[in-house]
Protein backbone atom coordinates (compact mmCIF):
# COMPACT_ATOMS: atom_id res chain seq x y z
CA UNK A 1 0.00 0.00 0.00
CA UNK A 2 1.25 3.47 -0.88
CA UNK A 3 -0.02 6.63 0.75
CA UNK A 4 -2.45 6.11 3.62
CA UNK A 5 -5.46 8.22 4.55
CA UNK A 6 -3.41 9.78 7.34
CA UNK A 7 -0.67 10.70 4.84
CA UNK A 8 -3.14 12.46 2.56
CA UNK A 9 -4.85 14.20 5.48
CA UNK A 10 -1.47 15.65 6.50
CA UNK A 11 -0.99 16.99 2.97
CA UNK A 12 -4.57 18.29 2.76
CA UNK A 13 -4.18 20.21 6.01
CA UNK A 14 -1.02 21.82 4.64
CA UNK A 15 -2.94 22.78 1.51
CA UNK A 16 -5.75 24.26 3.59
CA UNK A 17 -3.30 26.29 5.65
CA UNK A 18 -1.80 27.72 2.46
CA UNK A 19 -5.23 29.10 1.53
CA UNK A 20 -5.18 31.41 4.57
CA UNK A 21 -8.44 30.01 5.95
CA UNK A 22 -9.57 30.96 9.42
CA UNK A 23 -8.35 28.94 12.40
CA UNK A 24 -11.92 27.82 13.09
CA UNK A 25 -12.36 26.50 9.54
CA UNK A 26 -9.02 24.70 9.64
CA UNK A 27 -9.94 23.09 12.94
CA UNK A 28 -13.36 21.98 11.66
CA UNK A 29 -11.94 20.43 8.49
CA UNK A 30 -9.07 18.70 10.30
CA UNK A 31 -11.33 17.26 13.00
CA UNK A 32 -13.74 15.85 10.41
CA UNK A 33 -10.92 14.30 8.41
CA UNK A 34 -9.34 12.63 11.44
CA UNK A 35 -12.68 11.32 12.68
CA UNK A 36 -13.37 9.83 9.25
CA UNK A 37 -9.92 8.24 9.08
CA UNK A 38 -10.27 6.76 12.58
CA UNK A 39 -13.67 5.29 11.75
CA UNK A 40 -12.42 3.77 8.50
CA UNK A 41 -9.30 2.47 10.22
CA UNK A 42 -11.48 0.67 12.75
CA UNK A 43 -13.09 -1.05 9.75
CA UNK A 44 -9.65 -2.04 8.43
CA UNK A 45 -9.68 0.60 5.67
CA UNK A 46 -6.50 2.69 5.44
CA UNK A 47 -5.92 2.85 1.69
CA UNK A 48 -7.68 5.94 0.23
CA UNK A 49 -7.90 4.25 -3.15
CA UNK A 50 -10.36 1.64 -1.92
CA UNK A 51 -12.72 3.95 0.00
CA UNK A 52 -16.21 3.77 -1.45
CA UNK A 53 -19.43 5.68 -1.08
CA UNK A 54 -20.75 2.81 1.07
CA UNK A 55 -17.84 3.22 3.52
CA UNK A 56 -18.56 6.91 3.95
CA UNK A 57 -22.34 6.47 4.17
CA UNK A 58 -21.85 4.00 7.02
CA UNK A 59 -19.72 6.58 8.82
CA UNK A 60 -22.29 9.34 8.26
CA UNK A 61 -25.04 7.01 9.52
CA UNK A 62 -22.94 6.32 12.61
CA UNK A 63 -22.68 10.07 13.25
CA UNK A 64 -26.43 10.57 12.81
CA UNK A 65 -27.11 7.79 15.31
CA UNK A 66 -24.48 8.76 17.90
CA UNK A 67 -24.24 12.54 17.50
CA UNK A 68 -26.85 14.45 15.49
CA UNK A 69 -27.94 15.07 11.92
CA UNK A 70 -26.46 18.56 12.13
CA UNK A 71 -23.05 17.22 13.19
CA UNK A 72 -23.18 14.56 10.49
CA UNK A 73 -24.00 17.20 7.85
CA UNK A 74 -21.10 19.41 8.95
CA UNK A 75 -18.68 16.47 8.88
CA UNK A 76 -19.94 15.39 5.47
CA UNK A 77 -19.38 18.83 3.94
CA UNK A 78 -15.87 18.95 5.40
CA UNK A 79 -14.74 15.55 4.12
CA UNK A 80 -16.33 16.32 0.77
CA UNK A 81 -13.65 18.99 0.41
CA UNK A 82 -10.98 16.43 1.30
CA UNK A 83 -12.02 13.91 -1.34
CA UNK A 84 -12.33 16.60 -4.01
CA UNK A 85 -8.78 17.67 -3.19
CA UNK A 86 -7.58 14.05 -3.45
CA UNK A 87 -9.16 13.75 -6.89
CA UNK A 88 -7.63 17.04 -8.04
CA UNK A 89 -4.22 15.79 -6.88
CA UNK A 90 -4.68 12.49 -8.80
CA UNK A 91 -4.37 10.55 -5.56
CA UNK A 92 -7.62 8.63 -6.15
CA UNK A 93 -9.34 7.42 -9.34
CA UNK A 94 -12.84 8.63 -8.38
CA UNK A 95 -14.42 10.79 -5.70
CA UNK A 96 -16.41 8.54 -3.31
CA UNK A 97 -18.60 11.49 -2.30
CA UNK A 98 -19.45 12.31 -5.92
CA UNK A 99 -23.02 11.04 -5.76
CA UNK A 100 -23.58 11.30 -2.04
CA UNK A 101 -26.07 13.67 -0.50
CA UNK A 102 -25.80 15.33 2.91
CA UNK A 103 -28.08 14.02 5.65
CA UNK A 104 -31.36 15.85 6.10
CA UNK A 105 -31.40 18.13 9.14
CA UNK A 106 -34.76 18.34 10.90
CA UNK A 107 -35.72 21.95 11.51
CA UNK A 108 -36.05 22.84 15.17
CA UNK A 109 -37.01 26.32 16.25
CA UNK A 110 -34.39 27.77 18.58
CA UNK A 111 -36.22 29.29 21.57
CA UNK A 112 -36.01 33.07 21.64
CA UNK A 113 -36.13 35.32 24.66
CA UNK A 114 -39.12 37.48 25.39
CA UNK A 115 -38.56 41.15 26.19
CA UNK A 116 -39.38 40.60 29.87
CA UNK A 117 -36.78 37.80 30.00
CA UNK A 118 -34.16 40.09 28.44
CA UNK A 119 -34.97 42.69 31.10
CA UNK A 120 -34.60 40.04 33.81
CA UNK A 121 -31.19 39.18 32.38
CA UNK A 122 -30.12 42.82 32.41
CA UNK A 123 -31.40 43.25 35.97
CA UNK A 124 -28.75 40.80 37.18
CA UNK A 125 -26.05 43.20 35.92
CA UNK A 126 -27.06 46.21 38.02
CA UNK A 127 -23.97 48.05 39.24
CA UNK A 128 -21.26 50.45 38.14
CA UNK A 129 -18.22 48.19 38.56
CA UNK A 130 -16.26 46.81 35.61
CA UNK A 131 -17.95 43.39 35.69
CA UNK A 132 -21.52 44.68 35.88
CA UNK A 133 -21.12 47.34 33.22
CA UNK A 134 -19.22 44.93 30.96
CA UNK A 135 -21.93 42.28 31.19
CA UNK A 136 -24.66 44.85 30.54
CA UNK A 137 -22.81 46.09 27.46
CA UNK A 138 -22.22 42.55 26.18
CA UNK A 139 -25.87 41.56 26.50
CA UNK A 140 -27.13 44.76 24.93
CA UNK A 141 -24.68 44.60 22.02
CA UNK A 142 -25.40 40.90 21.49
CA UNK A 143 -29.15 41.48 21.19
CA UNK A 144 -28.88 44.82 19.40
CA UNK A 145 -26.44 43.70 16.71
CA UNK A 146 -27.03 39.94 16.45
CA UNK A 147 -23.29 39.30 16.27
CA UNK A 148 -21.98 35.76 16.38
CA UNK A 149 -20.33 34.84 19.67
CA UNK A 150 -16.85 34.74 18.13
CA UNK A 151 -17.43 38.08 16.39
CA UNK A 152 -18.46 39.60 19.70
CA UNK A 153 -15.53 38.17 21.65
CA UNK A 154 -12.97 39.23 19.02
CA UNK A 155 -13.93 42.91 19.15
CA UNK A 156 -11.22 45.39 20.05
CA UNK A 157 -11.75 48.88 21.40
CA UNK A 158 -10.52 50.31 18.09
CA UNK A 159 -13.27 48.42 16.25
CA UNK A 160 -15.91 50.67 17.83
CA UNK A 161 -17.20 54.15 17.15
CA UNK A 162 -19.54 55.17 19.95
CA UNK A 163 -20.22 58.48 18.22
CA UNK A 164 -21.37 56.79 14.99
CA UNK A 165 -22.78 53.78 16.88
CA UNK A 166 -21.13 51.18 14.65
CA UNK A 167 -18.54 48.45 15.03
CA UNK A 168 -16.43 46.70 12.44
CA UNK A 169 -16.41 42.92 12.65
CA UNK A 170 -14.71 40.07 10.82
CA UNK A 171 -17.16 37.23 10.28
CA UNK A 172 -17.08 33.79 8.68
CA UNK A 173 -14.69 33.43 5.79
CA UNK A 174 -12.87 36.51 7.12
CA UNK A 175 -15.52 38.71 5.55
CA UNK A 176 -15.68 42.16 7.07
CA UNK A 177 -18.81 44.19 7.65
CA UNK A 178 -19.96 47.23 9.59
CA UNK A 179 -22.65 46.56 12.18
CA UNK A 180 -24.73 49.35 13.78
CA UNK A 181 -26.13 49.44 17.29
CA UNK A 182 -28.60 51.63 19.16
CA UNK A 183 -28.30 54.53 21.57
CA UNK A 184 -28.92 52.43 24.70
CA UNK A 185 -26.16 50.03 23.68
CA UNK A 186 -23.79 52.93 23.06
CA UNK A 187 -24.59 54.32 26.51
CA UNK A 188 -23.99 50.89 28.07
CA UNK A 189 -20.60 50.54 26.35
CA UNK A 190 -19.70 54.06 27.47
CA UNK A 191 -20.58 53.20 31.07
CA UNK A 192 -18.27 50.19 30.78
CA UNK A 193 -15.54 52.41 29.28
CA UNK A 194 -15.76 54.78 32.25
CA UNK A 195 -15.70 51.88 34.72
CA UNK A 196 -12.51 50.55 33.13
CA UNK A 197 -10.89 53.96 33.25
CA UNK A 198 -11.85 54.38 36.93
CA UNK A 199 -10.28 50.98 37.67
CA UNK A 200 -7.00 52.11 36.10
CA UNK A 201 -7.09 49.49 33.35
CA UNK A 202 -7.49 51.92 30.46
CA UNK A 203 -9.73 51.49 27.48
CA UNK A 204 -7.63 49.94 24.72
CA UNK A 205 -6.82 46.48 23.39
CA UNK A 206 -9.56 43.83 23.71
CA UNK A 207 -13.00 45.32 24.20
CA UNK A 208 -14.07 42.76 26.78
CA UNK A 209 -11.67 42.02 29.64
CA UNK A 210 -11.74 39.77 32.67
CA UNK A 211 -12.57 41.71 35.81
CA UNK A 212 -10.11 39.55 37.74
CA UNK A 213 -7.09 39.38 35.41
CA UNK A 214 -7.62 42.32 33.06
CA UNK A 215 -6.92 40.04 30.09
CA UNK A 216 -9.17 39.69 27.06
CA UNK A 217 -12.33 37.65 27.51
CA UNK A 218 -12.59 34.76 25.03
CA UNK A 219 -15.79 33.27 23.59
CA UNK A 220 -15.88 30.63 26.32
CA UNK A 221 -15.62 33.30 29.01
CA UNK A 222 -18.53 35.26 27.54
CA UNK A 223 -20.60 32.07 27.24
CA UNK A 224 -19.92 31.20 30.89
CA UNK A 225 -20.86 34.71 31.98
CA UNK A 226 -24.15 34.55 30.08
CA UNK A 227 -25.03 31.18 31.58
CA UNK A 228 -24.27 32.47 35.07
CA UNK A 229 -26.37 35.59 34.55
CA UNK A 230 -29.16 33.46 33.07
CA UNK A 231 -29.23 31.23 36.16
CA UNK A 232 -29.42 34.31 38.37
CA UNK A 233 -32.33 35.56 36.24
CA UNK A 234 -34.15 32.23 36.46
CA UNK A 235 -33.41 31.34 32.83
CA UNK A 236 -31.27 28.22 33.30
CA UNK A 237 -31.41 26.95 29.72
CA UNK A 238 -30.04 30.02 27.95
CA UNK A 239 -27.54 29.37 25.17
CA UNK A 240 -25.51 32.31 23.81
CA UNK A 241 -26.72 31.72 20.25
CA UNK A 242 -30.28 32.35 21.42
CA UNK A 243 -29.41 36.03 21.65
CA UNK A 244 -28.52 36.12 17.94
CA UNK A 245 -31.77 34.33 17.12
CA UNK A 246 -33.67 36.73 19.36
CA UNK A 247 -32.07 39.70 17.62
CA UNK A 248 -33.08 38.40 14.19
CA UNK A 249 -36.63 37.76 15.38
CA UNK A 250 -36.96 41.26 16.85
CA UNK A 251 -35.62 42.79 13.63
CA UNK A 252 -38.05 40.90 11.40
CA UNK A 253 -40.93 41.26 13.84
CA UNK A 254 -40.39 45.01 13.86
CA UNK A 255 -40.69 45.20 10.09
CA UNK A 256 -36.99 45.14 9.22
CA UNK A 257 -36.35 44.08 5.63
CA UNK A 258 -34.90 40.68 4.80
CA UNK A 259 -32.31 42.20 2.46
CA UNK A 260 -31.03 44.43 5.26
CA UNK A 261 -31.00 41.43 7.60
CA UNK A 262 -28.75 39.56 5.16
CA UNK A 263 -26.20 42.34 5.33
CA UNK A 264 -26.48 43.13 9.04
CA UNK A 265 -26.25 39.53 10.25
CA UNK A 266 -23.53 38.53 7.82
CA UNK A 267 -25.48 35.90 5.86
CA UNK A 268 -24.47 35.08 2.31
CA UNK A 269 -27.04 32.35 1.79
CA UNK A 270 -30.80 33.02 1.66
CA UNK A 271 -31.13 29.59 3.30
CA UNK A 272 -29.77 31.02 6.55
CA UNK A 273 -32.22 33.90 6.34
CA UNK A 274 -35.10 31.46 5.87
CA UNK A 275 -33.90 29.43 8.84
CA UNK A 276 -33.81 32.44 11.13
CA UNK A 277 -37.00 33.88 9.71
CA UNK A 278 -38.82 30.66 10.58
CA UNK A 279 -38.25 31.32 14.28
CA UNK A 280 -41.55 32.37 15.79
CA UNK A 281 -42.90 32.92 12.27
CA UNK A 282 -46.28 31.79 13.58
CA UNK A 283 -46.31 34.66 16.09
CA UNK A 284 -45.48 37.17 13.37
CA UNK A 285 -48.17 35.72 11.12
CA UNK A 286 -50.77 36.09 13.89
CA UNK A 287 -49.73 39.70 14.53
CA UNK A 288 -49.97 40.45 10.82
CA UNK A 289 -53.43 38.93 10.64
CA UNK A 290 -54.64 40.97 13.63
CA UNK A 291 -53.36 44.08 11.86
CA UNK A 292 -54.73 43.26 8.41
CA UNK A 293 -57.75 41.09 9.38
CA UNK A 294 -59.30 40.38 5.93
CA UNK A 295 -62.64 39.57 7.51
CA UNK A 296 -62.81 42.97 9.19
CA UNK A 297 -62.73 44.62 5.76
CA UNK A 298 -66.07 43.17 4.76
Beta carbons of 87 and 97 less than 8 angstroms apart: no
pLDDT, mean of residues 228-241 = 92
SS3 133: helix
Q: What is the DSSP letter of 156?
A: B
Domains and CATH numbers, the chain: 5-88 (1.10.150), 115-289 (1.10.443.10)
On the question of pLDDT at 1 being above 60, the answer is no
Query: DSSP string of 15-45?
Result: HHHHTT--HHHHHHHHHHHHHHHHHHHHTT-
pLDDT, mean of residues 142-163 = 94
Give alpha helix (H) positions in the chain. Answer: 5-18, 23-42, 53-66, 69-88, 115-123, 130-145, 149-153, 183-198, 219-232, 241-253, 258-264, 270-277, 281-292
pLDDT tens readout for residues 73-114: 999 999 999 999 999 999 999 999 999 999 987 766 667 899
**Overall pTM surpassing 0.75 (yes/no):** no
Q: What is the pLDDT of residue 241?
A: 87
Amino acid sequence: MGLTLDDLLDSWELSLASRNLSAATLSTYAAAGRQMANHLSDQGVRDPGIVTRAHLERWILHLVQTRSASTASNRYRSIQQFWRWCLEQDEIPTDPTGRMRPPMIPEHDVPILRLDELRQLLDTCAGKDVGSTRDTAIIRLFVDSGLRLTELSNLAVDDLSLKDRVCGVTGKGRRQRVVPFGAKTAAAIDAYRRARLRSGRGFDGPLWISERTGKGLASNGIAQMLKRRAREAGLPHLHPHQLRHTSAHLWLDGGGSESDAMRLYGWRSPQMLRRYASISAQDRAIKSHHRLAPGDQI
